Structure 1
């Protein structure tokens, strides 16, 4: 989805800053997480997150306006529901990486937590960025190059 530049971007040239402007607050990421886990209705999002109604309304509007969620009529025909768009589904690796970082660093050893599993019930393997040669990438062996 191509958009005109937003004059309110924190750092208009940085993809990380633009992404954080769109989904970097706690509630937006939790709404995206829950949409990935099957939440569709306003009530479901509110129940799962505990978010205040006014904040949830704001986040759903923002995520819909920026093309991460779409609003459509529920199969019952009586209510509206929210569904991830392709852009919203493209955040899966981001959510997965945050989850895996949290599993490693946000819990004490042995402290119980949820884990993401595939359709066979097997835990999802750690996501590790790799270069064209297959070598693992991290902050030590990468750098930012400005284009244009």
Structure 2
């Protein structure tokens, strides 16, 4: 973990010199440089153990379907998590509108609930579509 932290700090220092993204003061340039350094080091270690770049590329091509399936399932798990958060948000809005009032004389805050409900429905629909789309 310390090595990855050191690699991230190195990427934060060198990314303007390695990758010309035009994203000054953004984390995207640091992420690009970090991934570049990480895969550069992985390929260097593989080369030291006797693997050539064409062999590594062929192995990655042979296992591309497995990586695609793993990424697809991870995406579906993430979309399920987003859908769960949206369901909890719906419960919160429902309890705000129809639950017990703390102070009976005060009117309910319906406006904030409406904006929240619209956002929950939009994100929930997108998560549902992302979770139920057919697998290739």
* TM-score between the two structures when normalised by the length of structure 1: 0.21
Choose between structure 1 and 2 for higher RCO, CA contacts under 8 A separated by at least 6 residues.
2
* Structure (1 or 2) with the greater helix fraction: 2
* Structure (1 or 2) with the greater strand fraction: 1
